[in-house]
Amino acid sequence: MFAKAALRSLEIESWSTPPVISESLLIKASNDITKVSIENDLVVPTRTTLLQIYKRLKLAFENKDLTTLSRYDIYHSPWVLFEQFDDEKALIKRWRFWAFYKKLTQNVDNYRFVLAFYNAYLVLYPFEQKYIVELQSHIKSLFKESNNRKVFRVSAEILGRQTLDSNAHIVISQNIAVTGNVGSELRTRGLLEGLSASKFTVKVLSEYLENFQSFIDNIPSDKQMNMIAKLVKFAELNGKLTYPEFRIEIANSILIASGSIELRTDVKDSLKTFFLTHFGDPRVELTGWHGVDDEAIRVFQSWLVEKTMEDFFNLLSHVADQSDADRHWKYRKRFWNAYLKKGYIEEAWFALGVKSFEQAPNFIKGRHNYASLSGGDSKHSVLIMKIGDLIVTEWSHSGSYRVWNSPQFAPTFYSKHYSRDDVILNSDHTGAHHGNIQGGWQQKLSGHIRDLTGFRVTERDYMND
């Protein structure tokens, strides 16, 4: 059974961010593989030493002469099987080499050799090669048939991890899908810490992300929320992406899957924070979203409309709490919420007067983007929305709402600053907020929007929370 100390060392909180896969995995393994070995005594030789072992093993194979190989060479030979040295073909890819090596090692019953073989297999995981099944079978037999006390003690633990099964990366990714707990499933199989950048771990993650949509389909809503939440938790460590090389796959997997289901508010809020932190706001800067599918970006932008509206509603509430300056805020919130819930608001952005800008942290939660506003009352703010072809502005205080029938003369979206003239001039329709309780202005404005866009909300929609 795995030593308790070794299990504790695999806790996700103790990770450091994995390296990029372009680094030599064997060199990385020489530094980190001891973190996940059972006795913390598995040492990978230096690159220079590995090259010498490679040359002697190659010579022994070509000359069919084993006398040139030392016990040290054989015990450390697994580390030179899969990689290229001197730009030559890897040994294991050479014709008839596998038969030679299998015969050479089938009776080698040494703890460090068996563990080196197993870990080298994980580090460079040659899953696409024809010999993979024979390789897995051979490593299994080394564990099963060993009379070595130390090998026997860990054999059941390692064989139970499924890492040596046929299509092991697929099997494990499917097991992850059952629990949704990426970190736990990898940790119990010893695939984090020094092996977090191994080709085996990376392939498992790639398989899981590639099939995330199919995994999440046709399961209960609570399990869907669990899978998404745990994937996001796994994807971030100490404020950074755990696997930055998977940023595109993570965005596509989570957002495209989330676009077809109804997310819990807490899950969606955590996703908004995650993507704004690590990818940025695609409305104002697309650099962080380079390579992400348009469908995924559209899903996130729709969430940002919700966040912008929510932030503005929080502003209205904040204003109302400060004074009696605005008697209209709850009616406006109900009205625009009705359009938001029906998905009619395609874009939303707001600008804050000087004092409102200063106070923004008091009413806006999490990461956010918004503009500044000049030329009017320093406490006032304006919300800009796109509904169909219409551009509509709404104010935080007693200002009128305005409608532009087309974008030509309307305020543009996602500017960093607006003057008061930018958001009031050349409108096609203007109205004051008279008759809140009776739904006076609400009926007029909803009728105007319906006539121009066909988008309909009822009195029941906009007069109730």
pLDDT of residue 25: 56
- Which of 260, 278, 296 terminates a domain? The answer is 278
In this structure, what DSSP letter does residue 65 have?
-
Domain count, the chain: 3
Same domain, 249 and 358: no
> Which tens digit of pLDDT belongs to each residue from 158-205?
999 999 999 999 999 999 999 999 999 999 999 988 888 899 999 999
Same domain, 161 and 220: no
Query: Residues 450, 451, 452, 458: what is their CA dihedral angle, to the nearest 10 degrees?
Result: -10
CB 397 within 8 A of CB 380: yes
Q: Within this chain, do residues 174 and 133 fall inside the same structural domain, yes or no?
A: yes
**247 assigned to some structural domain:** yes
Residue 34 confidence (pLDDT) above 50: no
pLDDT on residue 140: 96
- The one-letter amino acid code at 423 reads V
Are residues 384 and 245 located together in one domain of the fold? Answer: no
Mean pLDDT rounded to a whole number for the chain? 86
d(CA 126, CA 128): 6
- Residues 199 and 129: their CA atoms lie apart, in Å, by 14
Between the alpha carbon of residue 249 and those of residues 256, 302, 318, the distances in Å are: 10, 20, 39
Contact criterion met (CB below 8 Å) for 455 and 344? yes
Distance between CA 87 and CA 79 in Å, rounded? 16
For residue 36, what pLDDT is reported?
43
- State the Cα–Cα distance between residues 288 and 225, nearest whole angstrom: 25
Q: Which of 421, 449, 444 is nearest to 434 (CA)?
A: 444
In a domain, 200, yes or no: no
Query: Which residue's structure tokens are 């918004």?
Result: 370
Identify the CA nearest to 312 among candidates 356, 346, 350.
350
pLDDT of residue 248: 96
Q: Which domain holds residue 230?
A: 213-278
pLDDT band at residue 324 using 50, 70 and 90 as cut-offs: low
What number of other Cβ atoms are within 10 A of residue 248's Cβ?
16
Phi, psi (5° rounding) for residue 384?
-115, 130
Domain contains 288 = no
H or E element that contains 390: strand 390-395
What mean pLDDT do residues 443-454 have? 96
Residues 308 and 439 occupy one common structural domain: yes
Task: Using pLDDT thresholds of 50, 70 and 90, give the confidence band for residue 33.
Answer: very low
C-alpha angle with apex 256: 252 to 261, nearest 5 degrees? Answer: 150
**pLDDT over threshold 50, residue 16:** no
Enter the pTM of the model.
0.81
CA dihedral (406, 410, 414, 419) in degrees, to 10, reads: -170
Instruction: Provide the pLDDT confidence category of residue 319 given band limits of 50, 70 and 90.
Output: low
Is there a single domain that holds both residue 130 and residue 269? Answer: no
Least confident of 1-10, 178-187, 306-315, 350-359: 1-10
Is 33 in the same domain as 158?
Answer: yes
Q: Which segment of 138-152, 302-316, 364-378, 428-442 scores lowest on mean pLDDT?
A: 364-378
3 state SS for 250-312: HHHHHHHHHCCCCCCHHHHHHHHHHHHHHCCCCCCCCHHHCCCCHHHHHHHHHHHHHHHHHHH
Residue 427 pLDDT > 70, yes or no? yes
What is the rounded CA–CA span in Å between residue 143 and residue 151? 6
pLDDT value at position 6?
31
In whole angstroms, give the CA distance from residue 348 to residue 384.
6
- Per-residue pLDDT band at 23 (split at 50, 70, 90): very low
pLDDT of 326: 53
pLDDT exceeds cutoff 80 at 329: no
Query: Band of the pLDDT at 210, cuts 50, 70, 90?
Result: very high
Q: Are strands 371-374 and 390-395 parallel, antiparallel or unpaired?
A: unpaired
For residues 381 and 351, the answer to whether their CB atoms sit within 8 Å is yes
> Which amino acid makes up residue 116?
A
Angle, CA of 371, 384 and 434, to the nearest 5°: 125
Q: What's the gap between Cα 284 and its chain centre?
A: 21
Do 45 and 137 belong to one domain? yes
Are 457 and 421 contained in the same domain? Answer: yes
Same domain? 408 vs 260: no
Mean pLDDT in residue range 406-416: 93
The pLDDT assigned to 21 comes to 39
Residue 229: the pLDDT is 93
Give yes or no: residues 37 and 154 share one domain.
Answer: yes
* pLDDT at position 20: 42
Q: What is the pLDDT of residue 4?
A: 32
Identify the domain boundary among 278, 295, 321.
Answer: 278
Which one of 243, 278, 313 terminates a domain? Answer: 278
Q: How far is the C-alpha of 271 from the C-alpha of 267, rounded, in Å? A: 6
pLDDT band of residue 35 (cuts 50, 70, 90) is very low
Is residue 28's pLDDT more than 80? no
User: CA-to-CA distance for 42 and 316, rounded, in angstroms?
Assistant: 62
Asked if the structure places residue 125 within a domain, the reply is yes
Q: Which residues pair with 91 in a beta bridge?
A: none
pLDDT in tens, 109-123: 999 999 999 999 999
Q: Give 347's strand partners.
A: 386
**How many residues make up the chain in this entry?**
465
Q: How far is CA 30 from CA 4, 20, 397, 414, 441, in A?
A: 23, 16, 65, 50, 72
Is residue 389 included in any domain, yes or no?
yes
Higher pLDDT, 397 or 229: 229
Q: Are 284 and 414 in contact (CB under 8 A)?
A: yes
Q: What is the DSSP letter of 12?
A: G
Task: Kindly tell me if the per-residue pLDDT of 30 is higher than 70.
Answer: no
- Rounded to whole angstroms, the Cα distance separating 118 from 125 reads 10
In one-letter notation, the amino acid at residue 382 is V
Give the three-class secondary structure for 334.
helix
- The answer as to whether 245 is a domain residue is yes
Looking only at Cα atoms, what is the longest distance across the chain? 100
User: Is 102 contained in some domain?
Assistant: yes
Say whether both 111 and 168 belong to one domain.
Answer: yes
Least confident of 219-233, 316-330, 357-371: 316-330
Specify the pLDDT at position 45. Answer: 86
Give the span between the Cα atoms of 102 and 77, in whole angstroms: 12
Averaged over 85-110, what is the pLDDT?
90
Asked whether residue 66 is assigned to any structural domain, the reply reads yes
Can you tell me the distance from the alpha carbon of 160 to that of 51, in angstroms, rounded to the nearest whole number? 33
